[in-house]
Structure 1
Amino acid sequence: MKEAKVLVVDDNVDLAENVVAILKEIEAFELDCLLAHSGELARSRCQELGQSLDLALLDLRLPDTDGLSLVREMRQHCPRMEIVIITGDATVESAIAAVSHGAFAYVVKPFRPQDLMHTVERALAKVALIRERETLRHELEQSELHHREVVEAVPALVLALDAGGRIVLWNRRLEEITGQSREAMVGRPGLDIVGSGGDRRLAAADGTQHLIRWQLAHVGARQSEMIYAIGIDVTDERAMLRRTLRAERLAAVGTLAAGLAHEVRNPLNSATLQLQVLRRRIEKGQATGESLLRVVAIVVDEIQRLERLVKDFLAFARPSPLDVQPASLDDLMGSVVEQVRPEVTEASVELVAKLDARTAAVEVDPERLRQVLLNLVRNALEAMGGSGTLTVRTRLETDDSAAIEIVDTGPGIPEDAPIFDAFYTTKEAGTGLGLAIVHRIVEEHGGSIGFESRPGRTCFTVHLPLVHGPMTLR
């Protein structure tokens, strides 16, 4: 039930009290009724109650004031209040005058209680509707103010575009970066600022270019669609990323340089030592043809080792582009098996080939993938040291990928060994770049490589994506 405050103004005390009694019968409102028996008291009540007064029932014929003047004064003090005129001296002219001064309705004495109740209910319903509308408007204004404060407070760039692509919202952060005020930007075209979202450049007030990452939201029907855009300044983030990548590249170069220097030093030291020994023998007259040949052979081996090292290093540091083409995984693995079969026989190792990928096609550089498989197979042969079983297997994993497995029965590899790092090796004559190159080539093909190992069994697995659709295999 709604509450309402009503002022009854009549110099007839009995009639005023009867009016109050009638009003108490109204069920739709809980009324707080006040009485005023003179114009002066009515003015005082209006000044005292102000905006809280909802309705006044006023007799135009008061002994101390003109009723129509009082209507005008009461409306000034309480503009939201409605006034119902109650009089026994009704004329068309007086009714028109009362309404023109702001009265809601005109009730003539004597009146039926239900007529008065109906008139008062309509007046109070109008007042209640106006107050509700004002409350909603105030709440909406407060909500808009709150959201505006949030938009202004956030560190992001916020703007909105109307259906014509013109700017209707331009927040403080945009003002700070661009130096353009809200007043100057509202109404201007704004689609070129946000585009379709994503990263776009924005000219700053100092002449620099900021990189802004925009997220767009389209709201409303097509004819009245609004675009709300929130932008994050990623200029510093991008610069930091570039610095980080540069630092990582420099660190990688440092690591490679240190590894290369270490690997180069060993054969150089060996060759230098052999040449020094040879010089001393010549100086002492102890050099023979056999000793000369032995030293030359050692030096040649070390030079060839240096050549392999340089070749591997260049392959690792400056890889050539892939020559990608569809290929059969089984055919590739089969060609590698045939190529290493003499080496397997010489090493007294049993070779088991299980090529189960059937017609699976992969899009690869055949020579580079063959390089991967040869490296893994030869590593497995070296690990077994002259006996054991080498198993090569191809298989379909899912509809999207296939796997190649190289399994040996060697002593195993520690699970935490960084075998794919450049220059890591356990071989006396190894460069430490073979598996690093293998790892990079597999990743360049969109695949992955891993290993599982325990004493007596090590399995390297290469995962490669399959090609879907009709393909012509070369």
Structure 2
Amino acid sequence: AGARGKRSRKMNPDRSAPLNILIVDDNAAFAENLADILDELEGFDVQCTALPSAEAARAFAAEHDVALALVDVHLPDDKGTALLSDIRKGSEHAQVIVITGDATVETAIAAVDGGAFSYIVKPFPPPQLLEKATLALRQATLLRERQELRAELETSEAKHRNLVENVPAFVLALNEHGEIVVWNHFLEEVTGFQREEMLGQLGERFVGGEGDAPLPLKGGGHRLVRWQRAVVTNAPKSRLTYAMGVDVTDEREMLQRTLRSERLAAVGTLAAGLAHEVRNPLNSALLQLQVLERRIAKGKTSPPELAPVVLVVKDEIRRLERLVADFLAFARPSRVELAPHDLNDVADAVVALVAPEAKAKGTKLKVVKAEQPLWVPLDPERFRQVLLNLIRNGVEASGDSGTVTLRLIPTDTEALLEVTDDGPGFPPDAQIFDAFYTTKDTGTGLGLSIVHSLVTAHDGKISAVSQPGNTCFTIRLPLAPVVPSDSSAQYLPPPTDE
């Protein structure tokens, strides 16, 4: 008995170790002859081992991976057919060719029952043996690869199951009927619903749509979960929808608390600013009323003596009225009803309103309109407030002999509106759009905050650059996607000083 091996002219590309061929025959010369014939195998790297007994064969098969065994029916210590199951215990993919010089029906049946790959009767030509051995080795190789792939698949599935079960996120899967087929441990812990009671249930009520959705809890209530889905198709009629969710309940509550805190802080800032602004005209009015009271006490009740005091009080009350109006405009949500309007028409309406004021102050008002209609989604009443505020600010800043320019510029995707003045300007770091910021002695500091809010409500953007003698506010508005065919729809009512 002994082992011999060779490298075939065509190496097996999938295996670095040779395939073991076990020859079990008590005729040493015959076994040696079989090994010589098997040396001619093409396409396999093999190593042949010849053993004379069933006992030796069993010991070898228990220690080595056997791809092919050639077993004689008659062995000195056992029947060859009795070896088949023992060889396969250690090598499930092993193929066995039974060899006999005394063929009987009984031995053939025993070989078939034992799962033999083939049954060869002595004597046989070498090509027949090579053909049978080649087919058997191919079968063994395929079975071995299938077993390895199955093991790899089981390992991969185990890793996948371990990941799904232990990831700190909600993971479930729905089949093509929307039934739950995966319900991970994290879902069990948080919801209280166990896997056994959830498998087969319709899962849409748990997953909902994309984004944040409430996840019901068994004990009542829910958690807010942000879901993401992925559809996996394994076969034409087999589809799984995986959903992974992250609990965002605490995040949402924290965000809401933050927003409430910010709103309260903003209200506090506004209240403090409003109180400061209200105090000045109230103090002024109170002082004038005290003057009025003293004059009346002294009998000075003629109109020339009382009228100046009354006028001051009226002016301060009007100032308070404007302050309250500005405050309400700032605090009120900027709701707009957008429809396509020609920005040229809106500009004309505002310029017609402001022109007398500019003329009275000696300020030149220039308008450079677009050559073609400039259709923009607008709420004309609300957007006029924007232009009125910007142009009036420019007129007040420029003063006598100054110039304010309103320019409309179309681009491929948006409309630009520029309001430029040659006034003194403001510092580069000035927070001009913040509430109560003002450079004027009599201003409330809410005008530009209102402008910013209204421009944002129109899906636009506003910016400003300033240096002494040149301040420019730029508004960017998206163009209307559809140009209206009925120009009469763009009628603007006569402007009023709001």
TM-score, normalising length from structure 2? Answer: 0.88
Contact 2:73–2:100 under 8 Å retained in 1: yes
Contact 2:340–2:483 under 8 Å retained in 1: no
Q: Give the CA deviation at 1:383.
A: 0.6
Letter in 2 for 1:450: S
- The aligned runs of 1:34-433 (5 Å cut-off) are 34-49=49-64, 52-76=65-89, 78-220=91-233, 223-277=237-291, 290=304, 292-319=306-333, 321-356=335-370, 358-398=372-412, 400-433=413-446
Contact 1:278–1:287 under 8 Å retained in 2: no
Q: In 2, Cα distance between the equivalents of 1:240 and 1:103?
A: 71
Letter in 2 for 1:47: A
For 2:3, the equivalent position in structure 1 comes to none
The 3-state SS of whatever aligns with 2:237 is helix
For 2:495, the equivalent position in structure 1 comes to none
Contact 1:448–1:463 under 8 Å retained in 2: yes
- Percent same amino acid among aligned pairs? 53
The 3-state SS of whatever aligns with 2:440 is coil
Q: In 2, Cα distance between the equivalents of 1:48 and 1:324?
A: 85
The 3-state SS of whatever aligns with 1:54 is strand
- Structure 1, unaligned stretches of length 5 or more? none
Letter in 2 for 1:61: H
For 2:6, the equivalent position in structure 1 comes to none
Letter in 1 for 2:29: D
Cα shift readout 1:239-260 (whole Å, capped 9, x = no counterpart)? 1221111111111101100100
Indicate which of 487, 490, 493 corresponds to 1:473.
490
Q: In 2, Cα distance between the equivalents of 1:324 and 1:43?
A: 90
Indicate which of 450, 455, 468 corresponds to 1:442.
455
Contact 2:375–2:483 under 8 Å retained in 1: no
Q: In 2, Cα distance between the equivalents of 1:96 and 1:357?
A: 102
The 3-state SS of whatever aligns with 1:61 is coil
Q: In 2, Cα distance between the equivalents of 1:290 and 1:265?
A: 28
Contact 2:172–2:184 under 8 Å retained in 1: yes
Q: Give the CA deviation at 1:42.
A: 2.2
Cα shift readout 1:172-197 (whole Å, capped 9, x = no counterpart)? 22212221222222222223333443
TM-score, normalising length from structure 1? Answer: 0.92
Letter in 2 for 1:88: G
Distance change >3 Å, CA 222–CA 387, structure 1 → 2: farther
The 3-state SS of whatever aligns with 1:152 is helix
Give the aligned CA root-mean-square deviation in angstroms.
2.4
Q: In 2, Cα distance between the equivalents of 1:183 and 1:120?
A: 51
Letter in 1 for 2:96: I
Indicate which of 23, 45, 53 corresponds to 2:38.
23
Q: How many residues align?
A: 471
Q: Give the CA deviation at 1:72.
A: 4.5
For 2:471, the equivalent position in structure 1 comes to 458
Letter in 2 for 1:469: V
Letter in 2 for 1:94: T
Q: Give the CA deviation at 1:97.
A: 2.3
Q: Give the CA deviation at 1:99.
A: 2.2
Letter in 2 for 1:15: F
Q: In 2, Cα distance between the equivalents of 1:95 and 1:271?
A: 124
Q: In 2, Cα distance between the equivalents of 1:138 and 1:181?
A: 30
Cα shift readout 1:107-128 (whole Å, capped 9, x = no counterpart)? 2222222222222222221111
Which stretch shows the higher mean deviation, 225-234 or 451-460?
A: 225-234
Letter in 1 for 2:249: T
The 3-state SS of whatever aligns with 2:400 is coil
Contact 2:164–2:171 under 8 Å retained in 1: yes
Distance change >3 Å, CA 238–CA 129, structure 1 → 2: same
Q: In 1, Cα distance between the equivalents of 2:85 and 2:353?
A: 112
Distance change >3 Å, CA 373–CA 64, structure 1 → 2: closer
Q: In 2, Cα distance between the equivalents of 1:407 and 1:71?
A: 100
Contact 1:330–1:357 under 8 Å retained in 2: no
Distance change >3 Å, CA 22–CA 453, structure 1 → 2: same
Cα shift readout 1:260-281 (whole Å, capped 9, x = no counterpart)? 0110111122223334455566
Letter in 1 for 2:260: R
Q: Give the CA deviation at 1:345.
A: 1.8
Q: In 1, Cα distance between the equivalents of 2:441 and 2:160?
A: 70
The 3-state SS of whatever aligns with 2:41 is coil
Distance change >3 Å, CA 312–CA 79, structure 1 → 2: closer
